[in-house]
Structure 1
Amino acid sequence: MLKAIKDFYEANINPATEVEGQSVSHRLQLATAALLIEMAQADNQRHSLEFQAVHDGIMDVFDLTAEETAEVIELADLEAHEATDHFEFTQLINEQFDYSQKCKVVDLLWRVCLADSEMNRYEEQLARKITELLHVEHKDFIAAKLRVQREYSASGHLDDFDNYA
């Protein structure tokens, strides 16, 4: 199992192994998924709703199949567990994503954060920290939060919207 992960890492994540642009794409997928997984675990719990939001977000942003998404999430979970900070993930996103794509990542962070209808201070702090590392302006950070709250509230996903204002 460890050899398979190492082989995948060498083939898809290691910057020295660029193959027709595929490694950058895989690295971006893993970096984005790792940040979302970190958000899903920021409250020290693993809610299925939050991981469903991670799955849906990765699938949507990278136009992957359900199977490809599951593989990316599994590998990103290992990467997130081994990471010492968020910089390695945000650095790659900063290099490869334009501003609007980085705003989409912030939007996904809020979708994961609010997926279980609860938000604690650690989740909000992590969203703020990642947003700063992505160099996304505060106004766009707040706009994404409010947009996700409105969407979740309109769908009945958030039972008590006042807890999030």
Structure 2
Amino acid sequence: MLEAIKRFYAERIQPADQSKEDQQHRLQLATAALLIEMAQEDNQRHSMEFQAIHEGIRQVFRLSDDETAELIELADREAHEATDHFEFTNLINEHFDYQQKCQVVELLWRVCLSDADMDRYEEQLVRKIAGLLFVEHRDYIAAKLRVQHDYSSSYMGGYEDYQ
């Protein structure tokens, strides 16, 4: 996995000097891979979930559409090759601060709730990853409620059942 990360950033968006920004860029692949795992947890690939991944990655990491698409494609391959979530969460734990980890959990909720059909395995995966990232339960719930509120405001849908 590390070779694929290095190659992607060396070819596309790695700055000339090694900086704090470079550390964040190296972690984008790990974040995207976790989001793809989330989208596939219910054994289906919904376009709304992948749209949520694309929008979240693009906005949070400020990538172009092309960079985002390439990152997601690479992360999809990495997610299929990974044996567990630890390799991704470990990278995030080493370099992300607490607020960034909470942001990852919120992105997971955005993917989970994007199709308005959260099954128990999706919720368990968000909980598991939040635990691996050492995100406190109150912040895990706060992220869920923010996403539910955003989606219910946008779509006039009902996510209240998931509280």
- The bucket for the TM-score relative to the shorter chain is 0.7 to 0.9
* 2:65 partner amino acid: A
State the shift of 1:161 in Å: 2.5
Partner of 2:160: 162
Cα distance in structure 1, aligned partners of 2:89 and 2:5: 18
Find the counterpart in structure 1 of residue 80 from structure 2.
81
- Tell me what 2:41 maps to: 42
Coordinate RMSD, CA, aligned: 2.2
Relative distance call for 1:90 and 1:7 in structure 2 (3 A) is closer
The corresponding residue for 1:11 is 7
Paired position in structure 2 for 1:142: 141
Q: How far apart, in 1, do the equivalents of 2:3 and 2:143 lie?
A: 37
SS for the counterpart of 1:35 is helix
Partner deviation per Cα, 1:17-56 (whole Å, 9 max, x = no partner)? xx72476344301000000000011110000000000001
**SS of aligned partner of 2:55:** helix
- The 2-side partners of 1:77 and 1:10 are apart by 16
Deviation digits for residues 48-85 of structure 1, max 9, x if unmatched?
00000000111111100000000000000000000000
Letter aligned with residue 11 of structure 1:
R
| Structure 1 partner of 2:64 | 65
Aligned-residue sequence identity (percent) comes to 65
So what's the TM-score if we normalise by structure 2? 0.87
Which residue is 2:115 aligned to?
A: 116
AA aligned to 2:23 is: V
The number of equivalent residue pairs is 156
**8 Å contact from structure 1 (residues 11, 23) kept in 2:** no
Native 8 Å contact 1:102 1:134 kept in 2 = yes
Q: Distance in 2 between matches of 1:110 and 1:32?
A: 13
Q: Is the 8 A contact 2:5 2:29 kept in 1?
A: no
Instruction: Provide runs of 4+ in structure 1 moved above 6 Å.
Output: none
- In structure 1, stretches of 5+ residues that fail to align are 14-18
Q: TM-score, normalised by structure 1?
A: 0.86
